[in-house]
Structure 1
């Protein structure tokens, strides 16, 4: 692919493409048997670096908040995030490539049965600090109190240790935790759809942003995202539908 030098320079001012990776979302990234980062977002980062002709450097974090901060501060060049207006202050997002459900978890003996029963006075909802559902529930919950765990994988441990009423997070993570700890259950349905997209620092060249948008649309249309999800055994998430490119 013929890439304009100024676009390549806009993506990698250091000469290498630094991709911010969040290991706190098991749908998108984790570590393989050798302890190396692996997952859908890593596959996308490698393919993007290959297409643009740059050496890839993975900048790995344990939480979404740290990953967002790295791209906002331009200590990373691209990243993989849930779209959120707060994050949009410093990041230009593509359309989503994967849709993930956010769910609530409660104890087996909890009186809560439906999602709309959660936002009540006296209920404490634990979230991963800086996660997409932290940002969303901070806006949406009017009566329940939000308690922030240090990371998404620590949500259920915090929920149990502090005897809280509700845990909130990525549905697949909560399902895995429920099987592991026992005595808990998920409320039916979902409280939000998490739109996972790629992004770059907002101050970068608009042509670079448009290039990244086109890349994500091609990855969806070509089947690359679906194949990556299958290869990594991801269930419960779906490839996002195509979207018209935004005007930057």
Structure 2
């Protein structure tokens, strides 16, 4: 059953549902090896929402989270897939999270750093992806260490190596991938944050549209749609977020 007309117009005022896709987070989206087209759980959710609304889907693809956020914030896109953050929440209405991801630190094998709580020290330089969830988080939380921003999240470890920085911060799966490309690196044990990935739309689309999107995400979690999508795309290390207690809110 398609959505009511006023909901469809709120989500897709230009006709198609324009979904902002961030290829900088391999948990959510990648380029398909055969076609080069975006694939992943965020694309599957975007397709599901477009079908629910009864409209065509248009993917607007970016290489960094900050660009993807900006597209939704300024109305260039209608929905997006982001880590929940209070700064982003000024212009974007978030659902509850659908996926939980670990944020971790990567250092050199011979680094003196052994634990996450040792990173925030004067003189320590931490590489992050510009505008990423962990950039926003660490920019608030680190009081002594210096944050050095790479252009995108996939470029963090390359910048870390090129500039001789002390720590690379990012999504665990991306760091593990880069660790295989650069011998002599190790992950610090544990995590420094849990990244809550949610869907979001411009706040100006109104509370009814935000409520509709919230209910859609909850249904996708409860029906195992999200879990099946993660499995289909071979994603490990990410977990489906728990359903909220009251899906009517």
TM range (shorter): over 0.9
Shift of 1:3: 1.9
Distance 1:107 1:55 in 2: 47
Instruction: State the partner residue of 2:6.
Output: 6
Q: State the distance in 2 between where 1:247 and 1:48 align.
A: 18
Does structure 2 retain, via aligned residues, the 8 Å contact 1:126–1:146? yes
Residue of structure 1 in register with 2:204 after alignment: 203
How far the C-alpha of 1:179 sits from its partner, in A, is 1.3
Tell me how far 1:184 sits from its aligned partner: 0.2
Task: Give, in whole Å, the separation in 1 of the partners of 2:93 and 2:168.
Answer: 30
Deviation, structure 1 residue 4: 1.5
8 Å contact 1:7–1:205 — kept in the other structure?
Answer: no
Alignment of 1:21 onto 2:4: no
The equivalent of 1:151 in structure 2 is 152
Give the Cα–Cα distance (whole angstroms) in 1 for the partners of residues 248 and 220 of structure 2: 20
Q: CA deviation at 1:244?
A: 3.8
In structure 2, relative to structure 1, the CA distance for the partners of 1:245 and 1:78 (3 Å cut) is farther
1:87 correspondence with 2:53:
no
User: Could you report, residue by residue, the CA deviation over 1:185-233 in whole angstroms, capped at 9, with x for unpaired residues?
Assistant: 0000000000000000011121111000000000000000000000000
1:86-235 → structure 2 map (5 Å cutoff)? 86-235=87-236
Residue in structure 1 matched with residue 40 of structure 2 by the alignment: 39
Rounded to whole Å, the distance in 2 between the matches of 1:182 and 1:49 is: 43
TM-score, normalising length from structure 1? Answer: 0.98
Q: Does the aligned pair in 2 maintain the 1:214–1:245 contact within 8 Å?
A: no
Residue aligned with 1:172, SS:
helix
TM-score (norm 2): 0.98
In structure 2, do the counterparts of structure 1 residues 208 and 245 end up closer, same or farther at CA, with 3 Å as the change threshold?
Answer: farther
1:49 match: 50
Q: Which runs of 5+ in 2 are unaligned?
A: none
Moved more, 236-245 or 209-218: 236-245
1:57, CA displacement in angstroms?
0.2
Local SS of the residue matching 1:96: coil
Counterparts of 2:186 and 2:154, CA distance in 1: 17
Unaligned runs of 5+ in 1: none
8 Å CA contact retained: 1:97, 1:240: yes
Number of corresponding residues:
248
- What is the DSSP-based 3-state SS (H/G/I as helix, E as strand, rest coil) of the residue aligned with 1:194? strand
Partner SS, residue 27 of structure 2: coil
Secondary structure of 1:111's aligned partner:
coil
How big is the alpha-carbon RMSD for the aligned residues of Structure 1 and Structure 2? 1.1
The 3 A distance-change label for structure 1 pair 160 and 28 is same
Specify the SS of the correspondent of 2:191. Answer: coil
Q: Distance in 1 between matches of 2:18 and 2:224?
A: 25
* Distance (Å, rounded) in 2 between the aligned partners of 1:29 and 1:138: 25
